[in-house]
Structure 1
């Protein structure tokens, strides 16, 4: 069984998290059955960007990175406190450990920013939120990242994307990398894509 750690910061965007739960869940129940997703939060109770409340299965202090095959991170809003949690040393250390083990790290929208802040994207290609005068892509560049203004950018083990519209594509790319293109296409078909 391939296990995905869904890393949630307070203020995360619910739609960006839900694509991972659904795609990995659909595969577990109707695809090849080889994946499982575990929600992990920076605290015992999290509030999403638009006030949806989530209770994760685990908190960061309970995580053993060796038990997981991939990391998935949804983005969030500064106004909802996303960066307070996402830029915490505890959050950044999880990212570093996954990268050191060369495990897949899949992110959506501004979730590339804590990945970059952790140092693992220095000198690598990535993208981030591309609207509002590219402010988040400019911030990404300050971490030594070669910013590419494309919907999805993959550099070795790290997947980044540039806004919420890419969410399903990132989740399917993660599933494909964990299983196979054939299985991913089967799950897409079952989900109506």
Structure 2
């Protein structure tokens, strides 16, 4: 694997009920490969994951400057639906995509990308409960654990978290 050293990623978590391993696994993979990771949320208060992990975000969602990052990653978990209809999240996703940055989303978070128009005619995957939501956004649902279409990387859920992180590293290294 080529190096992703010196690259920067921002991982966006729900203010509550993000999915622990969907943040922690990819974050570990990214950091092991030299990627500097910033955690963002809609609140700077400590967020609790569905399995109890406690994370204090580094920056607010509204403070994300897309130009500062090589990858923008939306983390899943039941709380991730707070960004589905969030204009700020949609703008961040679209700005990152337009700048040819890596845009990632795991579990139910691909719905945010679908609702922002990013998955139209793109191969994508998502958690089983949100397949219809991404199809409604024009995605070509594949059912894969991890799906990459250009600079957009989606993953199905906690079991795919490690592979999701590895796919992002690979994309950042190209």
Residues 20, 72 of structure 1: 8 Å contact kept: no
CA contact (8 A) 2:48 2:54 kept: yes
* TM-score normalised by structure 2 residue count: 0.88
Q: 2:135 aligns with which of 126, 131, 141?
A: 141
* Pairs within 5 Å for 1:24-63: 24-28=30-34, 35-45=35-45, 46-63=47-64
Superposition pairs of residues 117-156 of structure 1, within 5 angstroms: 117-130=115-128, 135-156=129-150
1:73 partnered with 2:74: yes
SS of the counterpart of 2:43? Answer: coil
- Kindly tell me the number of residue pairs found equivalent between the two proteins: 167
TM-score (norm 1): 0.80
- Mind listing any 5+ residue stretches in structure 2 that lack a counterpart? 1-5
Q: Distance in 1 between matches of 2:90 and 2:52?
A: 24
Is 2:3 aligned against 1:5? no
SS, match of residue 109 in structure 2: helix
User: Which has more helix, going by share of residues?
Assistant: 1
Q: Identify unmatched segments of 5+ residues in structure 1.
A: 29-34, 181-193
The answer (yes or no) to whether the contact 2:106–2:154 under 8 Å persists in 1 is: yes
Contact 2:102 2:152 in 1 (8 A): yes
* Max Rg structure: 1
- After superposition, the C-alpha distances for 1:68-124 in whole angstroms (9 at most, x for unaligned) are 1111221111xxx43124431112211111111111112222111111111111121
Cα shift at 1:50: 3.7
RMSD over equivalenced CA pairs, Å: 1.6
Q: Closer, same or farther in 2 for the Cα pair 1:61/1:163, shift >3 Å?
A: closer
Q: Which runs of structure 1 show a deviation greater than 6 angstroms over 4 or more consecutive aligned residues?
A: none
